[in-house]
A and B are shown apart, each in its own frame.
Chain A
Amino acid sequence: MLLLSLEDAVTVLNKWKDESASVLVLGQNSFRLGLRSVHEGGVDWNIGLRGTVSQVSVCQGAISSKTGRVVFESPGGNLSLSVDSCVFSYDASCEKPPLLKADTGSKTLSCLFIFFPTNEAFVVYELQER
Chain B
Amino acid sequence: MVISLEDAAAILNKWKEESTNILVVAESPFRQTLRGIEGPGVRWAMGQHVRVSQVTFSVDERSSKGIVEFEGHAGNFLSLSIGHCRIVYGDPREASPDNR
Residues of A that sit less than 8 Å from B by CB: 24, 27, 37-39, 43-51, 69, 71, 74-82, 85, 103, 116, 118, 120, 122
Contacts and interface: CB of A to CB of B under 8 A. Distances in A.
Interface of B: 28, 36-37, 42-50, 67, 72-81
25 contacts: A38-B80, A43-B81, A44-B80, A44-B81, A45-B79, A45-B80, A47-B46, A48-B75, A49-B46, A49-B76, A50-B74, A50-B75, A69-B37, A71-B37, A74-B73, A76-B73, A77-B47, A77-B73, A77-B76, A80-B37, A85-B43, A103-B75, A116-B44, A120-B44, A122-B44
Contacts of A48: 75-78
A81 B74 contact: no
Nearest to A41: B81
B73 A38 contact: no
Contacts of B47: 77-78
Given A74-B74, A78-B48, 4 more contacts: A37-B79, A45-B80, A81-B43, A120-B28
Contact of A74 (B42, B44, B45, B76): B76
A81 B67 CA distance: 25
A118 B43 CA distance: 10
A31 B79 CA distance: 15
Given A44-B80, A45-B81, A82-B37, A77 B49 contact: yes
Given A38-B67, A44-B80, A45-B81, A80 B45 contact: yes
A49 B44 CA distance: 14
Contacts of B28: 118, 120
A126 to B, nearest CB: 15
